[in-house]
Amino acid sequence: MRSVQALAAAVLLLLPAYDVASAGEPKQGGILRVYHRDSPGSASIHEGATFSINVPFMPVFNNLVMFKQDVAQNSADSIVPDLAESWAWSNDGKKLTFKLRQGVKWHDGKPFTSADIKCTFDMLMGKSQQKFRQNPRKSWYNQVEDVTTNGDFEASFSLKRPQPALLSLLASGYTPVYPCHVSPADMRTKPVGTGPFKFVEFKANESIKLTKNPDYFKKGLPHLDGIEFTIITNRSTAILGFVSGKFDMTFPTEVSIPLLKEVKSQAPNAVCVVEPVNVSTNIIVNSSAPPFDNIDIRRALALVLDRKAFVSILYEGQADIGGTMLPAPGGLWAMPKEMLESIPGYGPDVNANREEARKLMQKAGYGPDKRLAVKVATRNIPIYRDPAVILIDQMKSIYIDGDLDVVDTAQWFPKVARKDYSLGLNLTGNAVDDPDQSFYENYSCGSERNYTNYCNREIEKLFDEQSMEKDAAKRKKLVWEIDKKLQEDVARPIILHSRAGSCWQPYVKGITIMVNSSYNGYRYEDVWMDK
């Protein structure tokens, strides 16, 4: 089994390389025209938490390190230097030192130095005078004690304890290096980076324009003269625009499966791929209040799920079933199939699972004559609402009558944070396919995004254990164990991991859609147009 997975991973790694090689020598020039699904709130990647910001602004920046842009699967092995020339861990695994490139300039002509690294990460850790208006990924750096510099071209991260995954977090599209000399406010409206493209303008609800950085430190890159994002909030108009040739590319991972069929029928030459986006559809249960403070009812809820029905109805079969971590072959850390199917509710016999669920409900005092009425809260957006409706339908079979409670976007997280819900349908996105990001953010005691307040000190110890483990194989086994336990505890029942489509015109070359994250693959320095 493992050898099959290894082969699949090898094929995944080789495919994009083959694509680039077969395309021939890159041509220079041209403006890549892409439609954007909505108007991002700002241009500052660090202050945002949606890939609506990453897609247009990642090309403006560089990281210390990044995931290789033509390798579809992000992993520790696909991390390459970016602003750093090289990196090294100390023997105790508590210090990560980067040697930085020399001669790199910010788009405004000022030199890049190690001080910019310190500024960026001090701000992310909340240690500097200048503050971000929002700092949604502060917790990523919980284990970083200090960032120090040694001269202009060396920077070190001192850690409280070993955390090999820190390098993956630094490689994310969410971790660009910002200039010290530009304020966070200016970075929200006129971002300055060192990246392959310079910011030209951002007209809210209209367009975002980038132009080639002729002084880019990676010689010969970028190939394109610029990138133009036209903001089109109406999905039908956007797709028609792509089909009519007005755009060279759709917004990445934004084409739903039914729409993909439309695109293929109207633009048969378009190159389209469907990939996992590392976003799970899951159930949040308020276990601190009745009726879900009763573990039997929570277990019954986990047993009622017919995941294949969700996948078939919502994604026409193109979604994955798994635990917390993204399933293989896209994901790196998911449990093997046999282990997954041994978890209650994941077995193939749905009727047997539901029979067991009914027994648990009867044990809790419910039955055909005494049904449990609950409100199923969810955001008023189709990707939330649609699975909630299916959930309500499935719950009927175990004496639970759900009533859909749609919540305006502006009220969803305040409501969840207040624990003003009994049962909710939620989506959880992961920027990096790494257990450190997923476990601490969603299941750690006291974490802001641990909506259900699930807190298990034993598992918490395992979180730290896996986080410090250097041996990838040992770490994987620990991760499987944790993931299994989380599902058995009904911490946040995972329904499915979605997939989405991306399309581009056949003359666009060098595009690689990442298979285990929607946040890290938009540098676009290798992209070119064969026309």
Partner 1 sequence: MFAYIVRRLALMLVTLVGISIIIFVLLRVVPGNIVDILFDAAGFVDPTDKANLEKELGLDLPIYQQYLNWIGGLLHGDLGYSYVSEKPTLQEILPRIPITAKLAGLALLFSASIGIPLGVLSAVHQGSRLDYTMRVVSLSGLSLPSFWLGLLILMASVSLFGHMPIYNPNPKTWTEAFAIYAVPAMAVGFRSAALTMRITRSSMLEILRQDYIRTARAKGASETSVNYRHALKNAILPVITVIGIEAAFLIGGLIVTETVFNIPGVARFLVEALRWRDYPIVQNLVMLIAVVVVVANFTVDMLYAAIDPRIRYGD
Binding-site ranges for partner 1 (CB under 8 A)? 39, 41-42, 48-50, 131, 133-136, 185, 188-189, 202-207, 230-234, 236-237, 240-241, 243-246, 266, 408-414, 417, 428, 448-449
Whole-number minimum distance, CB 215 to partner 1, in Å? Answer: 27
| Distance of alpha carbon 222 from the chain centroid | 25
Whole-number minimum distance, CB 127 to partner 1, in Å? Answer: 15
Whole-angstrom Cα distance, residue 102 to residue 86? 12
Q: Are strands 372-379 and 400-407 parallel, antiparallel or unpaired?
A: parallel
Whole-number minimum distance, CB 441 to partner 1, in Å? Answer: 9
Nearer to partner 1, 407 or 529 (CB): 407
Nearer to partner 1, 90 or 233 (CB): 233
Whole-number minimum distance, CB 201 to partner 1, in Å? Answer: 11
Whole-number minimum distance, CB 107 to partner 1, in Å? Answer: 20
Q: Where are the alpha helices (DSSP H) in 276-381?
A: 295-304, 307-315, 337-341, 350-363
Whole-number minimum distance, CB 466 to partner 1, in Å? Answer: 23
Whole-angstrom Cα distance, residue 83 to residue 525? 14
Query: Cα angle vertex 318, ends 312, 319, to 5°?
Result: 85
Whole-angstrom Cα distance, residue 344 to residue 209? 50
Structure tokens at 409: 């976007």
Nearer to partner 1, 379 or 476 (CB): 379
Nearer to partner 1, 240 or 478 (CB): 240
Nearer to partner 1, 293 or 448 (CB): 448
Secondary element (H or E) of residue 457:
helix 457-468
Instruction: Output the CA torsion sign for 36, 39, 44, 50.
Output: negative
Instruction: Annotate 368-396 with b (16+ C-beta within 10 A) or e (fewer).
Output: eeeebebebbbbeeebbebbbebbbebbe
Structure tokens at 273: 């791929």
Nearer to partner 1, 146 or 262 (CB): 262
Whole-angstrom Cα distance, residue 361 to residue 367? 7
Whole-number minimum distance, CB 136 to partner 1, in Å? Answer: 4
Nearer to partner 1, 233 or 288 (CB): 233
Nearer to partner 1, 234 or 342 (CB): 234
Nearer to partner 1, 53 or 361 (CB): 53
How many Cα atoms within 13 Å fall on the side-chain side of residue 396?
7
Nearer to partner 1, 134 or 148 (CB): 134
Residue 86 CB: number of other CB atoms within 10 A? Answer: 11
Nearer to partner 1, 245 or 317 (CB): 245
Whole-number minimum distance, CB 407 to partner 1, in Å? Answer: 9
- Of 118, 106, 124, 113, which Cα lies nearest the Cα of 44? 124
Nearer to partner 1, 33 or 475 (CB): 33
Residue 16: which residues within 8 A CB-CB, separation 6 or more? 70, 71, 72, 512
- Of 81, 219, 253, which Cα lies nearest the Cα of 525? 219
Residue 241 CB: number of other CB atoms within 10 A? Answer: 17
Residue 219 CB: number of other CB atoms within 10 A? Answer: 5
Q: How many residues does the chain have?
A: 531
Whole-angstrom Cα distance, residue 441 to residue 450? 7
Whole-number minimum distance, CB 51 to partner 1, in Å? Answer: 10
